[in-house]
Structures are given as C-alpha cells and as structure tokens.
Copies of this chain bind each other. A is one copy, B any other.
C-alpha cells in the first residue's frame, strides 16, 4: 500500500548534490549596482596605493636633511615657498631650507621627504613672506605615506566568491573597477503544488490555506543570493504538471517545487520525475523535519522537490539548495556556517533522527547561546519568523538539557562553511 523509501544520511544527501559541479557565470555590472553581489574573479590591485608619496597630515613638507641641526636652543628656519591642498601638485623645485605648506592627502613636492605637523612648527611672516621654524630634527620619511605602502599593483586583495561589502566597494572604486565582474545570480524557478493553496490576496475558505511556502522560499532564494522566477501553482492534473515542469527546466538554472513529494494519495512529483527520466539522487533523508525532500537531476539541471510542510520546506532549502546557489556564486564556502553554542532551554524530546530545530542564536557575555524560536511542531510557521539559526540535535539521542553544547547552523551569516557535516 505504501511505497517504502530508504532514508539516507544528511551528509550523503548533500554530497550527492554537490557532486554536480555547477559553475558560476561572470556578469559585468556597474560599481553602483555591485553592493551585496559576489565577486566572480579575484580582486587585484590595478595600481600601487598610494600611487604617490603623500602627506598624511596637514603641515609643512621639508627636506629632512635641512632639519639635522634643529634643537630647542637652535631652531631652524624654513621659507614657505608654496601652498598645496590634496589633489594639487607643487611646481616648485625645493631648495635648501625651503618648505611647502601641505594639506592631508597632497602629493609630497619633489625633493621633500618629511612632513612637519602644524602643531610642532612656529609659523610667521617676514616682509610679507611666510616662514616657519622647527626645534627638532625630522628623519627622512617621517610623517610620509609612501608610494605602494597600502597595496602593490598586481596584489590579490579579495578572493572570488566574496560578498561585496562597503569596504570592498571602496577598494573597487580605488582601483578603477567601474565595471565589476560579479557572479550572475542563478535563476531559481519555483512551483507550488497543492489543491489547498490560495493566493495571498484570496479570502480564506474552509479547508484551504494561503500559499506561504512560495513567498518564504522566494525570500530564502534572495537571502542565498539567487534570483527568483515564480512559476505559479501547479494544478492537480498530471499531464499539465508534467509539461509545466519539463518546460520550466529549460528556462531556469535550478527548479524548486514545494509539496507533492511524499507518498500521499495526491503527490504527483515522484511520477513526474519518472516520466521525465530524471535521475532521483534521493527521496528520503534521515532527518526531521524535511525527511521527504527529493532531489533529482535532469539534463544537468537539479530539481529540488521540497516538502509542502513549511518547516520541512525551509530546512530542506537551507541544507540542500542553498549550497548549490552559493557554489554558482563562486563561493568556496557554500554551506551554512556551523558553530558551537550553549543550549539555553531543555529539549526533552528524543531524536530517533537528527533534528533541525528553528532557533534564535545570540551572543551573551561573549558566548554563543541558542534557544528554540518557538514550538517545534513541523507545521507551525510562527517559529520561522524568529529563527536566525537551526540547532542540530543528532539522531539517536534522548533529548538535551539546558547548558548542553550543540551545533548550530547560522542562517543570516555570509561567511559560510566549507562542509558542515
């Protein structure tokens, strides 16, 4: 009467998916649009930084050699022969005991090799000509930012696969990357299945619920860095479903369906995979929630058959689909980051299978702590709102008590893990 499915371990399921070496595609976009995208190439320095010796302070640029005799009892006087701000270049040739008044960021005038900050100079005029004097020696290079001090041309500064943050934006601008090579967002198609589903703007009727999974998954795709193509709800007619799935595969990089993958009487997906002649990588995983997650491959495209149950759907996406999206964004750490945390509440339920508990991770007194973000019934969406992590409670355990050390997967983190299992 039921189809018997053989659950496989989580690590094996993830491995089967990651064997498909989906490649990232480079897309050049303008620097204005690149924040929050992923670098598709290593970011290299296109010039030395600074690309000239520069004054890091407001003051007077001098030839240090002229200051060698300066002391409290023997001030040395300089004639101030020029005055430059950042962006200006002095045209003067600096002779002995001459100085240039210089502002932060300006290029050191030729021949000068030290900057006397205003605070330690005595400035005055004689016959309308500006002078300044100092009471100590300045060493060659004192208060100078040197050419190439921050970066050398050709140096790799940031590795490909890195999320572009404000600091990287600054670097891109510094090195003239008006066009930035970022990873094209993989296009993830999304079908919902289920006769019970209403659209968000439809009124409730008995027995039906609004389709929340598609909106949730769409946001998860965006969080992972993908682009969403919502393809609508699949009707309850096999041929229509089959054609819709088949046609969608040509238009997207990855295809997700929610619902219809279990062994229920109205679950069409297994038959669709069969008729497509898709290779089913697995259709049951030893985990809760999400055990009925099915992943198949057809003509080099991956089909993720996620559960219709919101929690199972959520977890299935994060464990199985996210790493493929991140891989296509050139990440070398495509999996959710895993960390140790202290469990802050008892979790008395036994775990025959490894359980992923939606939870809220937070730092307290410098330590990572975690607490379930709501009841753990798999049909309760409420707990998803407060979840920033999934606590892993390994299978074969008899429950956990407050204070236990547990593994958590961090959902909002961008650093990632190479392999969390």
Contacts and interface: CB of A to CB of B under 8 A. Distances in A.
Interface in A118-157: 118, 123, 145, 150-151, 157
Contacts of A320: none
Interface in A305-361: 308-310, 314, 339-342, 358
Contacts of A215: 31-32, 169-170, 172-173
Interface size class for chain A?
Answer: 35 or more
Contacts of A16: none
A262 B170 CA distance: 21
Interface in A67-99: 83, 85-89
- Oligomer copy total: 2
A204 interface: yes
A86 B88 CA distance: 74
A52 interface: yes
A111 interface: no
B216 A201 contact: no
A200 B31 contact: yes
Contacts of A86: 194-196, 207, 266, 308
Contact of A167 (B2, B107, B204, B381): B381
A168 interface: yes
Given A1-B123, A107-B207, A173 B89 contact: no
A170 B266 CA distance: 23
Interface of A: 1-2, 31-32, 35-36, 47, 49-52, 56, 58, 83, 85-89, 101, 103-107, 118, 123, 145, 150-151, 157-158, 164-178, 194-197, 200-204, 206-220, 222-223, 230, 262-266, 308-310, 314, 339-342, 358, 362-363, 365-368, 377, 379-388, 405, 412, 414-415
The 7 closest A-B pairs by CB, nearest first: A167-B384, A87-B196, A87-B195, A166-B219, A170-B216, A86-B196, A107-B207
